[in-house]
Amino acid sequence: MAYFDAASAAPLHPVARQALLASLDEGWADPARLYREGRRARLLLDAAREAAAECVGCRADELVFTPSGTRAVHSGVAGALAGRRRVGRHLIVSAVEHSSVLHAAEAHEADGGSLTQVGVDRAGAVDPAAYAAALREDTALACLQSANHEVGTEQPVTEVAEACRAAGVPLLVDAAQSLGWGRVEGDWSLLTGSAHKWGGPSGVGLLAVRKGVRFAPQGPGDERESGRAPGFENLPAIVAAAASLRAVRAEAAAEAARLRELTERIRARVPALVPDVEVVGDPARRLPGVVTFSCLYVDGETLLHELDRAGFSVSSGSSCTSSTLTPSHVLRAMGVLSEGNVRVSLPPGTVAEDVERFLEVLPGTVAAVREKLGAPTATETVRAAGPDLVVDALGRRCPIPVIELAKVIGDVPVGGTVRVLSDDEAARLDIPAWCEMRGQEYVGEEPAEGGTAYLVRRTS
């Protein structure tokens, strides 16, 4: 089985396993106690903090460990907003942040705060100028991920941090995806990370808050971790997390170069091997091991199941693979095709043979899924009928509305229109994306009984 979902959780690093087992014997006592076992545990905790702080690029007394990366984000956002409440209650986030950041932003807005979401381009990157324009006198905090978790695009953190610093606004960076590859450059104020993303054990996050940043921990007070992460520290997991972070950093340069070659192989060959594919994300400024593509006329859930049966573990941002039946907020913000979406994220140590086998299996797997769904083929006859057609796809989920559109676009003359009736939220994203890929004109949408009518004009 080839595990290609390291962006969700990386396999436990051997160093993490060794450190975890050793600290189970040495680090079980309360590090706040003064007796021998407590002092031994305190030494382990302090050493882990020093190691993690060195990797992050901050002082040891600026970093605390949390029960998860999500908790680090929630604590960081809430504490920074509360610390600057006198300045205002305006929060800025990018439209492609991890759900932990967006959920914290939603809670802030529900509590009466104001929120601005900065959009991204089709590669998934924010424009630093647009981010700077969103800053206001009452802005209390800005948030920007270092790299995107779904498409791998690296964000211009340095430029955004400069704009925030000039405006006197702290910037919180969610570095969960990039921290294993290197320090986050730029004059950031707060930073979060999650150990299971770099090969550490799950259940350990970190939160760094620079000296001088106004920060007020929320919730009941606690004397542990500077009051920023209440509860007894999971010391064995913390030690393993810090040890593995150091280990992956030592290997990062060589492994990044190797994985970039493998993901570049996927980026280049998938469109050549599989028709009607859109590779998404920045082609250059991206994480070493992540490549994402979307396939027209494909049910994402079925595709993932078939790849799993073939021995490959991948993930997807398609609406078809989620209980909400709405496309990934990242793909939606980018305005790219969401149906048949596949994210391949290679863990360190991935061998070229597994990538080659994936490229051998993928074309036949996609073709089989398309055939099962009745997707159009390049050899289908083009027929000219009336100037307008209506496709009733109400009650049918992705990618059926797009498949039905593709089947009938040749039935109208050039200049004619097709109205696709759909109640699937994914159609709002996928029909315009299909038009761009196919060189047809997307006219817009209008309300229709039971859903929405999407208008497409045939131009070629």
Active site residues: 320
- Residue 30 makes CB contacts below 8 A (sequence gap 6+) with 38, 41, 232
- State the Cα–Cα distance between residues 455 and 421, nearest whole angstrom: 9
How deeply is 324 buried, as exposed, middle or buried, from its count of CB atoms within 10 A (0-12, 13-18, 19+)?
exposed
Q: Token pair for residue 339?
A: 């149906």
Q: How many CA atoms lie within 13 A of 442 on its CB side?
A: 19
Task: Report the helix count and the strand count for the chain, using DSSP H and E.
Answer: 12, 16
Pairing of strands 417-422, 388-392: parallel
Alpha-helical (H) ranges within 228-348 are 235-273, 300-309, 329-334
Tell me if 267 sits within 8 A of 51, measured CB to CB: no
- For tokens 């109400």, what's the residue? 394
CA 252/CA 266 separation, integer angstroms: 21
In terms of DSSP H, where are the helices of 57-210? 69-83, 99-110, 128-134, 157-167
Contact predicate 153/336, CB 8 Å: no
C-alpha closest to that of 33 among 221, 220, 205, 232? 232
What whole-number distance in Å separates Cα of residue 146 and Cα of residue 379?
45
Q: C-alpha angle 174/179/185, rounded to 5°?
A: 75
CA distance 449 to 460: 30
Cα separation, 106 vs 113, whole angstroms: 9
Only one residue has tokens 């436990």, namely 12
Residues 6+ apart with CB under 8 A from 254: none
The closest of 60, 58, 59, 89 to 169, measured between CA atoms, is 89
For helices 235-273 and 36-56, angle between their N-to-C axes, nearest 10 degrees: 30
Question: Which amino acid appears at position 71 of this protein?
Answer: R
Residue 446 pairs with which residues in a beta bridge?
A: 453
* Separation of alpha carbons 152 and 284, rounded Å: 10
Q: Coil, strand or helix: which one is 393?
A: coil
